[in-house]
Structures are given as structure tokens and as C-alpha cells.
Chains A and B, each alone.
Chain A
Amino acid sequence: MTIARKAGVWGLFAAGGTVSAFLFPAVIALFLLVAAGRVPPGLRFENLHAFAAGWVGKCLLFVVISLSLWHAAHRLRVVFHDFGVRQDKAVANAVYLVAAVGTAMTAFYLFSIA
């Protein structure tokens, strides 16, 4: 028997939630430091570019951003449902489309970092 497609997205949601639960506080803290004018050395162009140019950096950044996008998308779909929006199929298609586009853009930008 075919398992509902929601099972697959839930898998992405759970993986993305784990990734973003562990990593996003540090990410937000880094953005906070930048906003405060204290750019840490690791975020200077030479260093961050070197990190994103390597395959380890590319894989890490891709996994973090795309899985988190899918996590946010699925949770947003549930939020819409909880807020009383009944057109679940339409909401699902919209949020997953955004996640898919975001995933593609992430891959594209990462590939173009030499």
C-alpha cells in the first residue's frame, strides 16, 4: 500500500527541524554580531568564500539551508490549517513550491562559488 506523500515531507520536516534546532541559534547569533558591527573573522569574504568554495562547505550549507526550508514550509502548512485555512492542498503546493525554489537557488548559488 502506498504511504501518503505527507510521510515523505514529514521526514524532511523532522530532519530540517533537527538541523535548525541545533544550528540556528548560532546562525542568529552570527547575524546579531554582524548587525552590531562586529563581523567575526570567519565571516570575512576571504574566509567565508574559501569555506563555501570547498565541497565540505557546499554540502553543509546546502543541507542546512534546504532542510530548514522544507521544515519551515511543512510547519507553515500546518499553521495555516491551525489558523482555519481549509484549502490544505493549495497551501501545501504553495509552501512546497517555495521550498523547492529555495532549494534550487541554494544549489545554484553554491555551485557558482568557485
Chain B
Amino acid sequence: MSTRELQLEVLRYDPEQDSEPHFQSYTVPCREDWAILDALNYVKENLDTTLSYRWSCHMMVCGSCGMMVNGEPSLTCKTFVRDLPDRVRIEPLAHFPIERDLVVVLDDVMEKLQRAQPWIIRHDDPPPADQEHIQSRAALYKFKQYTMCVNCMCCYAACPQYGLDPSFIGPAALALAHRYNRDSRDQGKADRLDILADYHGVWDCSFVGACSEVCPKSVDPAAAIQQMKVDGAIEWWKQKLPGGKR
């Protein structure tokens, strides 16, 4: 297998020494079947052990290795060198504060994911423990695509509304709420209503659609958000009609 030389321009930042980030160049001989993550691992093992970045599974299921590759939020284990030019710019995920090198501070989105109440909410008793809670395949497919999220946060890096105002709860959290709202076992739609109610819930979204375009798992958070907007608008107008409850 032939190798190809890639010029990696990696954004470095040492919080103990640097006042601001700067680019550092590495020349990496890449095998043609490599992902850009392999190139980073090569740098770390052979060229510069001080480079810090997150990665784990190397198979698009853990969501750890999200970074900006030539300006595009990507899973570096899913971005292959054969699809990249010879010069590759690697930066930490946009719209997040940089902790160190390619590692970003994710505290904000961790809190936001919790706010979606991502668990089955029941208001009456589930079936007894010795009985299955039957869910048909059709019922599963209603929400299955929204379960595919690996929390890589590429969608937040792509979303300009989140970049402009981080109070926006954001695509992944909303897709997660939608996943549970559409789950037939869940009864918590009203409990998650504060996502619709809140000014910084679905209503901060202006349907740029970048989130769905960059999502490596085809979750389509933009679709989830628009569906919640429709629900929310119908609910709002229903409350306005005579007999509607507040």
C-alpha cells in the first residue's frame, strides 16, 4: 500500500504557557486507507507526544474524536485521508472553549443534554416485571434515527445560532428530547415542554440545517427540531382558542 505525505496544520494551545492558540505543522506519511485520526496518532507516537486530543473507539460509536477538519466539524475516525487534500487544517470543535490543544470544554452541552430529561418518563405503572413492555417495530422506527446520536457535538460546532448565543439548548439536546417524546413507552412529553416553552429552546433555531449536514450518524436533529416547532406552534394556538387550557 502506498503512502501519501500529508501536511497537518494543527491548532495548539497550552493553557499554562500560551496566551492564545497557534498553528503547528507536521508532515505525516499516511497509508491510503487511513483516517485523519490515524495521522494524529502518528504525530503523537512519532513526532510530538505533547499533542492532546480525545479519541476512543475509532469506529464512530463513541463520539470522542470530533474536531474541525479543514473547517468542517467531523469525526476524525470517519474522515479519510483519501478524501482530503495534501494540506489539512485540524482545529478543536468550533463554538466551544479550548481546554488544551484539540480538547474542548464540554460542560455546557453535558448540562444541556440532562435538561432534555433523556430517560423514559412514566406517569402510570409500567407492565409488571415479569411481563415485557411490548413495542412494535413500527413504534421503534418512529424514533430510532434519533437514538443514533453519539454525542460527538459536531452539530453544536456547525450551528451558528449556538455559536452566536450559547444559551441555545442546541441540536443534540433537542434531538434527544424528541427521541424520548416519540418513544411509545414514554409519557413525559408535557414534562419536557419547557424545551418548547423556553425562549432558548427550539425557538432559537432558525433552521440553518448545518447540524444535520455534518452529523456523522445521520440523526437529522434539524428535522427533530422542526417537528417540535410544529408541535409547539399547534399547542400554542390550541391554547388561544376558546376552551383552550393554559
Contacts and interface: CB of A to CB of B under 8 A. Distances in A.
Contacts of A8: 233, 236-237, 240
Contacts, number: 49
Given A10-B233, A11-B233, A3 B199 contact: no
B232 A3 contact: yes
B203 A7 contact: yes
A4 B233 contact: no
Interface stretch (B51-59, B93-101, B114-122, B190-198): B190-198
A1 B230 CA distance: 17
Contacts of A81: 164, 206
B223 to A, nearest CB: 14
B122 to A, nearest CB: 20
B5 interface: no
Nearest to A5: B236
A3 B189 CA distance: 13
B197 A10 contact: no
B32 interface: no
Contacts of B233: 7-8, 10-11, 14
Interface residues of B, number: 22
B239 A3 contact: yes
A78 B164 CA distance: 12
A11 B236 contact: yes
A8 B232 CA distance: 8
B201 interface: yes
A1 B197 CA distance: 7
Nearest to B207: A78
A2 interface: yes
B33 interface: no
Interface in A1-22: 1-8, 10-11, 14
Interface of B: 160, 164, 193-194, 196-199, 201, 203, 206, 229-230, 232-237, 239-240, 246
